[in-house]
Structure 1
Amino acid sequence: MKKVLIAVVLLLGIAGNAQEKMEGRRNLRENPLTKEQRQELHLKKMTLDLDLSTAQQKEIRTVLNEQSNKREVTLANRKEKQAENAKKLTADERFAIKNQMLDDQIAMKARMKKILSNEQFKKWETMKENKTDRMHDRLAMHKKRKASKTNTNK
C-alpha cells in the first residue's frame, strides 16, 4: 500500500511539472518578443560569449539590425509568393534562393571577421557550428517522431 501511494504521488508530481513546462512554451508562442528585444538579447549573449568591446557592440548591433530587416523582407516575399501560387519551386528558383542565402552568409562572415579579433572570430564560428548542429539534430528528431506517428496511424 505504501509503495502504491508513493508511486501515485510521484506520478502526480511529474504530471504537474510537465503541465507547467507546456504552459511556459505556450506563453512564449502567444507573447513573442519584439524584434528589438530579440536583437538586444542576441547582442548581450554575444557580448558575454565573445567579450565584446563597446565599439564592437555598436557595429554588431547595426549588423544584426540589417540582418533582421533583410529576413523580414525575405519572409514577407516568401509568404506573398506562397499565397500567389501554391506550386512547388522549380530547380532554378531553389538554386537562386540557396545561392542568395550562401552569398549573404559569406558577406556576414566577412563583416564579422572585420569586427572581431581572430580569437573572437574563431569562437563565433564554433558557436555558429554548434547552433547548426543542434538545429539539425532537432530537425532529425522531429522527422523521426513524425514518421513514427504516421506508422502507428496506419
Structure 2
Amino acid sequence: MKKILFLLAILSVGITQANNGKKDRTPEQIASIQSKKMTLVLDLDSKQQSQVEKLLLVEAKDRKSNKMKREDREKLTEEQRFTKSEAALEKKIAMKREMKSILNADQYAKWEKMMAKRSKGKKRGGKHRKGQDEKRGNRN
C-alpha cells in the first residue's frame, strides 16, 4: 500500500511539473519548437527554417503580449470584441501571405492542410474531443 501511494505521489508531481513546463516556455522556445516541427513535416531547407522561425517568433511574442485573462475577455464591449476579432483576422492574413512567400507550392499546400486540420480540431474541442471521436470510430 505504501509503495502504491509513493508511486502515485511521484506521478502526480511529475505530471504537475510537466504541465507547468508548457506554460513557462518563452516565445523563443515556442518558435524554435514549432519551426523544427514544421521543418520535419514540410522538409524545409535551412533558409526557410530560419525565416519561418522569425515569423513564428513574432507571432509568439504578439500572442504572449495580447494574452488576456478570461474575466477580462468577458468584460469587453461588443465594439472591443469586434476590433480584436478584426485584428486577429488581419494577423492571420498577413501570416498566410508571409508563409506563401517563404514556402514552395507543395510545402504551402501541405501547410494549409495542417492549418485547416488544426483549426477544425479547435472548433470541435481540441485534442480531447478528437480522442473521443476516435474511440467511437468516428474518424475523418
Larger Rg: 1 or 2? Answer: 1
How big is the shift at 1:34?
2.2
Q: Which deviates further from its counterpart, 130-139 or 111-120? A: 130-139
Name whichever structure is richer in helix by fraction. Answer: 1
Correspondence for 1:109 among 69, 93, 96: 96
How far apart in 2 are the matches of 1:55 and 1:126?
A: 22
Aligned-residue CA RMSD in angstroms? Answer: 2.8
Q: Secondary structure at the match of 2:44?
A: coil
Return the match for 1:27 from 2, 5, 17.
17
From 107, 113, 130, give the equivalent of 1:126.
113
Residue 96 of structure 1 corresponds to 83
1:133 is displaced (CA, Å) by 1.5
Report how many aligned residue pairs link the two structures: 120
- Whole-Å separation in 1 of the counterparts to 2:13 and 2:117: 28
% identity of equivalent residues? 29
| Partners of 2:118 and 2:42 in 1: CA distance | 15
User: For residues 55 and 98 of structure 1, do their structure 2 counterparts lie closer, same or farther at Cα, with a shift above 3 Å needed?
Assistant: same
Which residue in the other structure is 2:135 paired with?
Answer: none
Q: Which residue is equivalent to 1:51?
A: 43
Residue of structure 1 aligned with 2:122, choices 114, 120, 135: 135
Q: Distance in 2 between matches of 1:51 and 1:38?
A: 19
C-alpha distance 132-25 of structure 1, shift in aligned 2 (>3 A) = farther
Aligned equivalents of 2:58, 2:99: Cα separation in 1: 13
1:116 & 1:67 partners in 2: Cα distance? 17
Q: Which amino acid aligns with 2:64?
A: E
Pairwise CA distance, 1:59: 0.6
Task: Give me the whole-angstrom Cα distance separating, in 1, the residues matched to 2:98 and 2:45.
Answer: 16
Output the TM-score relative to the length of structure 1: 0.66
**31, 34, 40: which one pairs with 1:39?**
31
Aligned pairs for 1:61-100 (under 5 A) are 61-75=53-67, 78-79=68-69, 82=72, 88-100=75-87
Per-residue CA distance 1:12-36 (angstroms, 9 max, x = gap): 9xxx89x95x665422222335223
C-alpha contact (below 8 Å) 2:30/2:60 kept by paired residues? no
The unaligned stretches of length 5 or more in structure 1 are: 1-11, 143-154
